[in-house]
Amino acid sequence: MVSSADLVPEPFRGLTDRRVRRNAWALPRLYSHTWSVNDMSSNGTIRDILNEGRVVDSQLYRDHCGINHVKTFYFFCERLSQEPTNVAVSSTELKAYILAQLRNLKIDVSNSFNPEGWFGKAWTDRTDASKDEKHFRSEYRYVLLRTGNGPYSYQIRPEYLPDVREFFADSEDD
C-alpha cells in the first residue's frame, strides 16, 4: 500500500514546516500539471502556483534556491503586490526583501545569498533550447514582466495583479 508520504516529491519529504505537512498531499498534483497561457487566466492556477511557493520550507529554500524558483517567484509576487501602483522593482530590492523575510524566520543567510540571480539566470536559460533548465516554469514569465539588463527589474503583468493581490490578502487571513 502506498502512503500519502510516498507521494510527496523527494525534496519535500521529512520537512517540519507545518504548512508543508498540511499541504504536502497537493504537491505531486501541482508538479504533474503543465499549464498553458490560457490556464494562467484562471485565478485558481495562479493561486496554485503561489500556494506551492508559500509551502516550500524556508530552510530548504535557503539550501536549494537554484531549484526552488517557485519560492523566489512567491517572494517576488509578495513584494511586488505591496506596491501601491504596479511599478517595476529592481532585483536588488527584491533580493533585500527575500533576505529580510528569511532572517525574520531566523534562517541564517549571508548577503551573498543570490536567489534573484538564480531566478534571472533560469529565466534567460529557459529561452535557450541548448540549456537544460528544468526548474523554471514558463508560468513565471506569464505573470511577471522583466525589464533592464543588469540588474533586472520585475513587475506583475497588469492582467494578473488583481489575482496576485487577492491571494496575498487572503493569505493574511490564514
Percent of the residues in the chain that have a pLDDT greater than 90, as a whole number: 54
Q: How many CB atoms lie within 10 A of CB 141?
A: 16
Give the integer Cα–Cα distance in Å for 117 and 82: 22
State the pTM of this model: 0.75
Q: For the chain, which residues make up each domain, given as ranges?
A: 4-172
In a 10 Å sphere around its CB, with 0-12 CB exposed, 13-18 middle and 19+ buried, how is residue 71 labelled?
Answer: buried
Strands of 20-169, DSSP E: 89-90, 144-147, 153-156
φ, ψ of residue 85 to 5 degrees: the values are -120, 160
Q: What is the pLDDT of residues 15-46, one digit of tens each?
A: 444 444 444 434 333 333 344 444 454 455 88
Q: Which three cell numbers stand for residue 16?
A: 517540519
